[in-house]
Amino acid sequence: MLVDTYGRVATDLRVSLTDRCNLRCTYCMPEEGLQWLGKPELLTDEEIVRLVGIAVTRLGVTEVRFTGGEPLLRRGLVDLVRRCAALAPRPRLSLTTNGIGLARTAGALAEAGLDRVNVSLDTLRPEVFKTLTRRDRHQDVLDGLAAAHAAGLTPVKVNTVLMPGLNEDEAPELLAWALAEGYELRFIEQMPLDAQHGWTREGMITAGDVLASLRTRFRLSPEGDRERGSAPAERWLVDGGPGRVGVIGSVTRPFCAACDRTRLTADGQVRTCLFATEESDLRSALRSGADDEEIARRWRLAMWGKKAGSGLDDPAFLQPTRPMSAIGG
Ligand code: SAM
Ligand code: SF4
């Protein structure tokens, strides 16, 4: 198993498939100038399947989430899903995506064995979408969401980041929409992981702000601490349920003590945390002929060094050199 010195066990693997993206969300990437990983640095499909296989068969991983950058940009994604779904024991498979292109691929992904999707959508207003993502693709995301729902990639979860002066007033409207469409909405606090290092604590919308805004229109009751488990989202029943909403307070309400994640970047580095400043190079091990047990040993060793928390509240906190898009959100 992937255990750390605080007794946490990592069973949830996030795999980044690419650092590239077809949007430029302001809280994630600059408009231009970001350097992409070169093809030789990226893990091949073969290498990804082998590492996921090691995680599942030797290290106790039960959940695999593909992410990026934008994972739908990875050619061969459907086949990757199919090969991971054929592993024994079969992990649960999900995808975090901006939804662009999902309308075309949702059916094939579901057929290949994908269980669920999280689609990121921050606004219901096309003009705000254009400002926030610097691309005019709002309708593509809505179409992707509908296709995912129709393909049975459920529950379809929607990830939303609120930004001051842009979409900060949209929380109630987004929740009403998500409830009507049958999507599970989760608000995520903006974290200091943007490539341009523009985040400030004062400039972020907090989980508390989101809840206050939602309460102007809805009655929220906690689902209970036990329900949160290792999940980062605090979940609330809306108007008595069954509709729900999640709030992920990564900055103001951290969940590090219950974290069950391990991460693999698109270039084959294990990260113990989004905010880790160290990585362990599994790609070199793979390419120098290490056997599965040696790779598993390195992965266990990396996780043993996992820190207690993100360090965000430490005055000496340093933003990791890799941005969110290159770590895998
Ligand atoms: N491109 C895909 C997408 O947008 O869903 C997958 C990768 S993206 C990095 C994963 C998630 O991270 C998205 O929901 C996005 O909104 C979120 N995200 C990106 N930058 C963030 C930041 N600085 N703080 C909080 N969430 C962020
Ligand atoms: Fe792309 Fe996702 Fe980052 Fe937006 S949040 S720029 S969609 S990787």
The one-letter amino acid at 248:
I
21 Cα nearest atom in ligand 2: 1
Whether 195 is in the pocket of ligand 2, judged by its Cβ within 6 Å, is: no
Ligand 2 mean position, distance from CA 89 (Å): 31
Report the candidate in 61, 100, 101, 78 with the shortest Cα–Cα distance to residue 17.
78
Q: How far is CA 133 from CA 50, 78, 98, 161, 175, in A?
A: 34, 26, 10, 12, 20
Quickly tell me which residue has 């820190």 as its tokens.
Answer: 307
Question: Could you give the CA distance from residue 109 to residue 184 in angstroms, rounded to a whole number?
Answer: 20
**Which ligand has the minimum distance to the alpha carbon of residue 198?**
1
As for how many domains the chain has, the answer is 1
At 224, list the tokens: 């209970």
Ligand 2 mean position, distance from CA 134 (Å): 11
At 227, list the tokens: 């329900």
Ligand 2 mean position, distance from CA 194 (Å): 10
> What is the extent of the structural domain holding 177?
2-327
Ligand 2 mean position, distance from CA 258 (Å): 26
pLDDT value at position 320?
Answer: 85
Per-residue pLDDT of the chain (329 residues; tens, 9 = 90+): 999 999 999 999 999 999 999 999 999 999 998 999 999 999 999 999 999 999 999 999 999 999 999 999 999 999 999 999 999 999 999 999 999 999 999 999 999 999 999 999 999 999 999 999 999 999 999 999 999 999 999 999 999 999 999 999 999 999 999 999 999 999 999 999 888 888 988 999 999 999 999 999 999 999 875 555 666 789 999 999 999 999 999 999 988 999 999 999 999 999 999 989 889 999 999 999 999 999 999 999 999 999 999 888 887 788 888 888 888 88
**Which ligand has the minimum distance to the alpha carbon of residue 193?**
1
Whether 28 is in the pocket of ligand 1, judged by its Cβ within 6 Å, is: yes
3-class state of residue 281 by DSSP? strand
- What is the DSSP-derived secondary structure letter of residue 206? P
Ligand 1 mean position, distance from CA 227 (Å): 24
What CATH number is attached to the domain comprising 310? 3.20.20.70
3-class state of residue 65 by DSSP? strand
Report which protein residue has its CA nearest ligand 1's atom 19: 28
Whether 25 is in the pocket of ligand 2, judged by its Cβ within 6 Å, is: yes
**Those residues with Cβ within 8 angstroms of residue 288's Cβ, 6 or more apart along the chain or in another chain:** none
pLDDT value at position 227?
Answer: 52
